[in-house]
Amino acid sequence: MAITTEMIKQLREATGAGILDCRKALEQADGDYEKAVDFLREKGLAQAAKRSDRSASEGVIEVYSHGNGRVAVVVEVNCESDFVAREESFRRFAHELALQIAAASPLFVKEEDIPADMLQREADIAAARAREDGKPEAIIPRIVEGALNKYKDEVVLMRQKYIRDESRTVQDLYNELVVALKENIVVRRFVRWGLGEASN
């Protein structure tokens, strides 16, 4: 299929990718617009993975207070350059993270942050519950795996469903930002306080 300048222009406007990248994506996808978008997204995520070891010491500390001061969140999001740190999409992402943390009360940024003893405790609870329910021993490991995945989806910020659109996760939002800004972005840390709640 012949790739027209109009097709390239349309793809470029939708994705922000360069002209040559758009042409190549359309050629790879035989002119299929959706496949070309997927190709560019995969390429962007691959480039983002390469960037992940680059230093990210600029950024923003977003402070958010909710419900007349009943919940407060502080989240640090880092990037490589002060130019990106001032970018509206970067600032909006930090704000969305603060809203997510206020609403969904995650405990960790990434699943690697969960202490091994905490995961073991959750696994033991799931196994004991399955045995109490009379489940066959052979399927208990699968039940435990499912319970651990559910637990991670609840307590890990990057795995949580995005509060504004449950078809996406916070990780999806992060991936889109990294692809768009072409920099290493790091969600460094957060803290959430709820009035009268015991501290972790």
Instruction: Encode pLDDT of 154-165 as tens digits.
Output: 999 999 999 999
> Do residues 162 and 105 both lie within one domain?
yes
Q: Let me know if residue 200 belongs to a domain.
A: no
Q: Let me know if residue 199 belongs to a domain.
A: no
Q: Which domain holds residue 184?
A: 58-110+156-194
Say if CB 76 and CB 59 are below 8 A apart: yes
DSSP class of residue 138 equals: G
User: What CA–CA distance (Å, rounded) separates 187 from 111?
Assistant: 13
Q: Let me know if residue 171 belongs to a domain.
A: yes
Of the candidates 41, 48, 1, 51, the one whose C-alpha atom is nearest the C-alpha of residue 21 is 41
The pair of structure tokens assigned to 131 is 């045995």
Domain with 160 in it: what CATH number? Answer: 3.30.479.20
Q: Let me know if residue 139 belongs to a domain.
A: yes
> Do residues 17 and 38 both lie within one domain?
yes
Give the chain's end-to-end CA distance (angstroms, integer). Answer: 59
Residue 67's pLDDT band, with cuts at 50, 70 and 90, is: confident
Q: 1-5, 46-50, 91-95: which has the minimum mean pLDDT?
A: 46-50
Domain with 124 in it: what CATH number? Answer: 1.10.286
> Do residues 82 and 136 both lie within one domain?
no
Give the global pTM: 0.70
User: What CA–CA distance (Å, rounded) separates 171 from 159?
Assistant: 6
Q: How do residues 169-189 score in pLDDT, each as one tens digit? A: 999 999 888 888 888 899 999
The pair of structure tokens assigned to 34 is 């959706």
User: What CA–CA distance (Å, rounded) separates 19 from 4?
Assistant: 12
- Please report the pLDDT score of residue 36 as a whole number: 83
> Do residues 97 and 181 both lie within one domain?
yes
User: What CA–CA distance (Å, rounded) separates 155 from 103?
Assistant: 12
- Please report the pLDDT score of residue 8 as a whole number: 82
Q: Which whole number is the average pLDDT over 108-130?
A: 93
Say if CB 124 and CB 132 are below 8 A apart: no
Number of domains forming the structure of the chain: 3
> Do residues 149 and 172 both lie within one domain?
no
> Do residues 24 and 86 both lie within one domain?
no
Domain with 37 in it: what CATH number? Answer: 1.10.8.10
User: What CA–CA distance (Å, rounded) separates 72 from 36?
Assistant: 42
> Do residues 70 and 143 both lie within one domain?
no
